[in-house]
Amino acid sequence: MGLVTGACLADLGNDVTCVDIDEAKVARLNAGQIPIYEPGLEEVVGRNVRAGRLHFTSSYASAVPPAQFIYIAVNTPAGQAGEADMSQARSATQSIAQHLSPDAIIINKSTMPIGTGDWVTMMVGRYVEGRVPFHVVSNPEFLREGSAIVDFMNPDRVVLGSTDPEAAKIVAELYVPLNAPIMITDLRTAEMIKYASNAFLATKISFINEMAAICERLGADVKEVARGMGLDKRVGPAFLEAGVGYGGSCFPKDIMALAHMAAVHGCHPQLLRAVMDINHDARRSVLIKIREGLGSLEDRRIGVLGLAFKPNTDDLREAPALEIIHLLVQEGAHVQAFDPAAMEMAQRMLPSVHMCSDAYEVAEGAHALILMTDWNEFKSLNMRRLKDSMLYPLLIDGRNIYDPQEMAALGFHYRGMGRGYDTAQSSNGNGAASADVVEASRSIRV
Ligand code: UGA
């Protein structure tokens, strides 16, 4: 998020220096290498480095003094009790305070607990002891991984919070070229808007995943249900895709941190807790479907398509695939997998998994195939070829990207997420999943 913000602000014509204490990362960036996979980022970074507007350094001492705006974009990962771990924010704030020039505006861009703006004001104030006037503005970011550049350049809104509305107005000038509505409010409200937005989106996902679980039992198709619901303007179609649940570096930690904040301030965040619970159930349901299809997983070969927590990124943080693979391996399965971007990192985290060169190799000799990430390239595979190379044609579509009827016609035992059709098909039309499939799978094993 820091690199995207820096590169995009440079693209808007500003002179930007990005600071990172990781000297190796800075060296790579200075050598033109982008440390993450993010569509379009390399181009924007390259363009602005060449134009002399974008620089990288590990030195606060050189970057902070000339800066009028100082963005804090460090990580705020989940701490031990579910709280946001503020250690990186603390040390960045201290380093900034040591080099601050008068009237600089410190902008909190990371998702930070409610009250962080006041805390940063207090920390910096203590250090400069009235010698250096400064301002603090909260400016939460709403971009998504995988479409970060497009999201940054086309925001639905820009939110700015400050105890000093004049400082917020100066920051607002930076975003005028984006032609987006700019909302100015107080610090804590701005911080809360970010948490509430992520919590609402995660709630939508868990809501549809709960509907999916009900659809599965009652023979309805959740994709059609979501389509029918989404046509209501009050509901809207976005974030109603049922599947293996949300992952990534944002929703899991942010929902947990908001619930933690609520709980330690005397609230009972029951809805947030349910959202997290349902999300875990969505992941585990994949395992249940595999067991229903194959019986014991001991010595079964399972293919996994997609490892990243979503398409167009190599990010594996809280990726549902990691948890599922871990559980499959625990139950004795041999896992082979492919992801278009995340395999290098995944291999280090999952040494027992055989990483394949493409989706077709994943299917070879497999008793089951699980689609975990809805990369575009998985939507146009030759499914017949996949099926013919499998030992047993169980297909778990964790993102509902395939057509159940088409898959059944090809001979797959198709299990989607909340698609009533799969129950009927997987037992040849006679109701709930399938003693005969389990039998068939046992006989393969023999
Ligand atoms: C999310 C928010 O969408 C951004 O607005 C926010 O800025 C960001 O967190 C953040 O706080 O930094 P991101 O985590 O990059 O962005 O990705 P999303 O596209 O929101 O997807 C999150 C997860 O939800 C993924 O695992 C995705 O597969 C899942 N998802 C999304 C569903 O399962 N169903 C859906 O309908 C939509």
Complete DSSP assignment for 47-92: HHHHTT-EEEES-HHHHSTT-SEEEE-----B-TTSSB--HHHHHH
Check if 134 has its Cβ closer than 6 Å to any atom of ligand 1. Answer: no
Q: What is the DSSP letter of 115?
A: T
> Which residue, by CA, sits nearest to atom 5 of ligand 1?
142
Residues 212 and 169 in one domain: no
**C-alpha distances in Å from residue 366, one per residue of 167, 192, 233, 304:** 60, 47, 43, 10
Which ligand 1 atom is nearest residue 310's CA?
A: 28
Indicate the DSSP class of residue 398. Answer: T
Answer whether 261's CB lies under 8 Å from 113's CB. yes
| 204 & 95 share domain | no
Q: 10 Å Cβ neighbour count for 321?
A: 30
With vertex at residue 333, the alpha carbon angle to CA 330 and CA 335, rounded to the nearest 5 degrees, is 105
What are the average pLDDT values for consecutive 10-residue runs of the chain, which has 446 residues?
Answer: 98 98 96 93 97 98 98 94 94 97 97 96 96 97 96 98 96 98 98 98 98 96 98 98 97 96 97 98 95 96 98 95 96 97 94 97 98 98 98 98 96 95 44 42 43
Number of the ligand 1 atom closest to the C-alpha atom of 140: 7
d(CA 102, CA 331): 61
User: How do strand 334-338 and strand 354-355 relate by DSSP bridges?
Assistant: parallel
Boundary (domain end) residue, out of 128, 151, 185: 185
Of 185, 200, 224, the residue that ends a domain is 185
Q: Is 157 left (phi over 0), alpha (psi -120 to 50) or beta?
A: beta
Q: Is 251 in the pocket of ligand 1 (CB under 6 A)?
A: yes
Q: 343, 355, 256: which is closest to 303 by C-alpha?
A: 355
CA 238 to centroid of ligand 1, rounded, Å: 11
Domain count, the chain: 2
What is the 430 CA–ligand 1 centroid distance (Å)?
37
DSSP 171: H
Let me know whether 236 and 125 are in one domain.
no
Token pair belonging to 291: 């067991």
Choosing from 152, 185, 218, the residue where a domain stops is: 185
Query: Residue 133: which domain range?
Result: 2-185
- Decide if 52 contacts 212 (C-beta within 8 A): no
| Ligand 1 atom at minimum distance from 145 CA | 15
Q: Are residues 160 and 233 in the same domain?
A: no
What is the Cα–Cα distance from 194 to 114, expressed in whole angstroms? 10
Give the CATH number, domain containing residue 358: 3.40.50.720
Write down the pTM of the prediction. 0.93
Q: Is residue 210 within a helix (H) or strand (E), and if so which, with residue range?
A: helix 187-218
Q: Find the 68 Cα to ligand 1 centroid distance in Å.
A: 32
Alpha carbons within 13 A on the beta-carbon side of 388: 5
Looking at residue 420, what is its pLDDT? 77
Find out whether the beta carbon of 248 lies less than 6 Å from any atom of ligand 1: yes
Q: How far is the CA of 251 from the centre of ligand 1 (A)?
A: 7
Residue among 37, 251, 339 whose CB has most ligand 1 atoms within 8 A, to mutate? 251
Whether residue 61 is found in the same domain as residue 43: yes
Choice among 18, 215, 250, 356 that is catalytic: 250
Q: Please give the pLDDT value at position 421.
A: 54
My answer on whether 307 and 234 are in the same domain is yes
Is 356 annotated as catalytic?
no
Name the pairing type of β-strands 134-138 and 158-162.
antiparallel
- State the greatest distance between any 2 C-alpha atoms of the chain, in Å, as a whole number: 80
C-alpha span between 412 and 392 (Å, rounded): 9
CA of 75 to the centre of ligand 1 (A): 17
